[in-house]
Structure 1
Amino acid sequence: MNYAGPAEATPARSGLELTPFRGLRYDPDRVGSLAAVTSPPYDVVVRPDGLLELESADPHNIVRLILPQDGTPAARNQQAAETLRLWLSEGVLTTDPEPGLYVYEQRDGDMLQRGIIGALRLSEPADCVVLPHEDVMPHVIADRAALMRATSANLEPLLLTYRGNGSRVGTAAVIERTAERPPLLSTTTEDGFSHRLWAITDPAELAEIQTDLHHHQALIADGHHRWATYLRLRAEHPSPSPWDYGLVLLVDTARYPLRVRAIHRLLHRLPVADALTALTGSFRVRHLDVPLAEALEALAAAASEGNAFLLAGDGAFHLVDRPDPGLLARTIPADRPEAWRTLDATVLHATLLDHVWDIPEDSPAHIAYIHDTTATVEKAERDGGTAVLMHPVREEVVRDLARQGVTMPRKSTSFGPKPASGLVLRALSL
Structure 2
Amino acid sequence: MNTAGHSEATAPRGLELTPFRGLRYDPDRVGSLAAVTSPPYDVVVRPDGLHHLQDADPHNIVRLILPQATTPDARNEQAADTLRRWLAEGVLTTDPEPGLYIYEQRDGNGMLQRGVIGALRVSDPAEGVVLPHEDVMPHVVADRAALMRATSANLEPLLLTYRGDDPAADTSRLVERTAQQPPLLATTTEDGFAHRLWSVTDPAEVARVQSDLARHQALIADGHHRWATYRRLRAEHPSPSPWDYGLVLLVDTARYPLRVRAIHRLLHHLPVPDALAALDGLLRVRHLDVSLPQALDALADAAREGNAFLLAGDGSFHLVDRPDPGLLARTVPADRPAAWRTLDATVLHAALLDHVWHIPGDSPARVAYIHDAAATVEKAERDRGTAVLMHPVREEVVRDLARQGVTMPRKSTSFGPKPASGLVLRALEF
> 1:8-407 residue pairs with structure 2 within 5 A?
13-109=12-108, 110-407=110-407
**Secondary structure at 2:362's aligned position in 1?**
coil
List per-residue Cα deviations over 1:145-197 (Å, max 9, x = no partner): 00000000000000000000251321000001111110000000000000000
The Cα RMSD (Å) is 0.8
Instruction: Tell me if the contact between 1:40 and 1:421 (Cα under 8 Å) persists in the aligned partners.
Output: yes
1 CA distance for matches of 2:340 and 2:182? Answer: 46
Give the conservation status (yes or no) of the 8 Å contact 1:164–1:254. Answer: yes
| 1:203 positional shift | 1.1
Alpha-carbon shift at residue 326 of structure 1 (Å): 1.0
Q: Quote how far apart the aligned CAs of 1:328 are.
A: 0.4
SS in 2 for 1:135: coil
Contact (CA 8 Å) 1:264, 1:370: kept in 2 or not? yes
**CA-to-aligned-CA distance 1:70-96 (integer Å, 9 cap, x gap):** 010000000000000000000000000
**Distance between the aligned counterparts of 1:166 and 1:336, measured in 2?**
34
Decide whether the 8 Å contact of 1:12 with 1:129 is kept in 2.
no
Paired with 1:285 and 1:299, the residues of 2 have a C-alpha distance of 12
**Runs of 5+ in structure 2 lacking a partner?**
1-9
Pair 1:416 & 2:416 matched? yes
Q: Residue type of the partner of 2:143?
A: D
How far residue 204 of structure 1 moved from its aligned partner, in angstroms, is 1.3
Q: 1:382 to 1:12 in 2, by over 3 A?
A: farther
Residues 311 and 319, structure 1, Cα contact 8 Å, conserved in 2? yes
Question: How many equivalent residue pairs?
Answer: 420
Structure 1 residues 373 and 236 mapped into 2: Cα distance closer, same or farther (>3 Å)?
Answer: same
Q: Following the alignment from structure 1 to structure 2, what is the Cα–Cα distance between the partners of residues 119 and 315?
A: 47
Give 2:55's aligned amino acid: S
What's the counterpart of residue 4 of structure 1? Answer: none
Conserved in 2, the CA contact under 8 Å of 1:166 and 1:255? no
Q: Distance in 2 between matches of 1:14 and 1:165?
A: 18
SS in 2 for 1:106: strand
**1:40-71 deviations in whole A, cap 9, x for unaligned?**
00000000000000000000000000000001
Residue 280 of structure 2 aligns to a residue in which SS? coil
* In 2: Cα distance, 1:73 partner to 1:170 partner: 44
List, as ranges, runs of 4+ consecutive aligned residues in structure 1 with deviation greater than 4 Å.
Answer: none
* Structure 1 unpaired stretches of 5+: 1-10
Q: Secondary structure at the match of 1:115?
A: strand
Sequence identity (%): 83
Whole-angstrom CA distance in 2 between matches of 1:186 and 1:79: 29
Does structure 2 conserve the Cα–Cα contact (< 8 Å) formed by 1:103 and 1:116?
Answer: yes
| Cα-to-partner distance string for 1:333-354 (whole Å, 9 max, x where unaligned) | 1110000000000000000001
Contact 1:12 1:127 in 2 (8 A): no
What's the CA shift string for 1:285-343, capped at 9, x where partnerless?
00001000000000000000000000000000000000001110111011100000000
2-structure distance, mates of 1:145, 1:334: 34
Amino acid at match of 1:210: Q
Preserved CA contact (<8 Å) 1:284 1:323: yes
Match in the other structure for 2:3? none
> In 1, distance between residues paired with 2:202 and 2:120?
18
CA distance in 2, matches of 1:328, 1:146: 38
Alignment partner of 2:82: what SS? helix
1:250 alignment partner, SS class: strand
SS at match of 1:335: coil
Contact 1:156 1:421 in 2 (8 A): yes
Task: Tell me by how many angstroms 1:12 deviates.
Answer: 8.0
1:369 is paired with a residue whose SS is strand
Aligned to 1:346, what secondary structure does the other structure show? helix
* AA of the residue aligned to 1:351: A
Query: Quick check: 1:12–1:128 contact (8 Å CA) kept in 2?
Result: no
Shift of 1:13: 1.9
Q: Distance in 1 between matches of 2:219 and 2:169?
A: 21
Q: Structure 2 length normalisation: TM-score?
A: 0.97
